[in-house]
Homo-oligomer: A and B are copies of this chain.
Amino acid sequence: MKKALTIDVGGTKIYSAIVNSEGKIVSEIEKHSTPKTYDKILEVFKELINKHEDEVDVIAFSTCGAVNNTNDGILGSTGNICKEYPSTDFKSLSRKKVFVENDANCAAWAEHVIGASKGYKYSVMLTLGTGVGGGIILDNKLYKGKSGAAGEMHFKMTRTPQRDCTCGSWGCFEAYASGTGLKLTAEEIAETKEITTYDVIDGVKAKDVLMTKIFNTWQDDILNGIIGLANIFDPDVVVLSGSMAEFVDTGYLTEETNRQIVTQPTKVVKAQAGNYSGMIGAGLLALGVEG
């Protein structure tokens, strides 16, 4: 069975493992903190590749940042990783074929091939973490747009600026639906900076009225975004992944979405491909495994 050495590059961690064409991780998972300097990042890549290159058919990167349509380079900047990183010449890192894709796109592909959107031709995945990532599968293909950068969930939730977004603009879905968004919503409603997402989640469990109000406001922001995406894409399924996804009520989101959309009924479900879906998806994409 064919195998890929997969390397997941985020702003804080670099993970690596060997993934086979069934989407199974067949090695130890190696973890590194993402070095601050570009030289040290390249050292980590080279060390991983030198060690495993001969065992695999392809090197597959799941990375922060938008990736071009030839899957060999990063478009634009990537936020919280050193500024030279987007200029990386990935092909030069190995004698083997090197494949690069955006991490949210990789995770969406993993869900499509082995996870929650398996068997569906049309799906939208939202990764709800510190920020929000997006991956769109249309007619069983990863949707990339004209340059490769598609699937950015930066659509506005307000008509005028009320909350800045990490993208440099304001009012984006990410600024409301992310974990960071939940904290900001909590601060606004509770009128204090001394509140965390944990306070909200714990408060909901304890049936605290204020914390429940905060949580529902955040969940309805997610709902409102999903309604728009469902009207635009008419997807079979909307998959929620990421650390914040575990808290939402997908039954409520499905019911309310279907009550409000003008397209045909859809489903909102939680991701099933696990914490390493980025690496798994990168491996499956690099190995040409379709869903």
Taking the complex as formed, is A192 at the interface, i.e. its CB lies under 8 A from any CB of chain B?
A: no
Taking the complex as formed, is A168 at the interface, i.e. its CB lies under 8 A from any CB of chain B?
A: yes
Partner of A236, one of B146, B156, B225, B234: B146
Taking the complex as formed, is A138 at the interface, i.e. its CB lies under 8 A from any CB of chain B?
A: yes
Taking the complex as formed, is A260 at the interface, i.e. its CB lies under 8 A from any CB of chain B?
A: yes
Q: A158-B159, A232-B152 are in contact. Are A168 and B221 (CB under 8 A)?
A: no
A228 to B221 CA separation, bound complex (whole angstroms):
15
Most buried by B among A145, A147, A168: A145
Q: Annotate A118-158 by CB proximity to B: 1 below 8 A, 0 otherwise.
A: 00111000000000001010100001111111111111111
Q: Oligomeric state, in number of copies?
A: 2
A186 to B146 CA separation, bound complex (whole angstroms):
37
- Measured between C-beta atoms, what is the minimum distance from A55 to chain B in Å? 36
- Measured between C-beta atoms, what is the minimum distance from A268 to chain B in Å? 15
A146 to B235 CA separation, bound complex (whole angstroms):
6
Taking the complex as formed, is A76 at the interface, i.e. its CB lies under 8 A from any CB of chain B?
A: yes
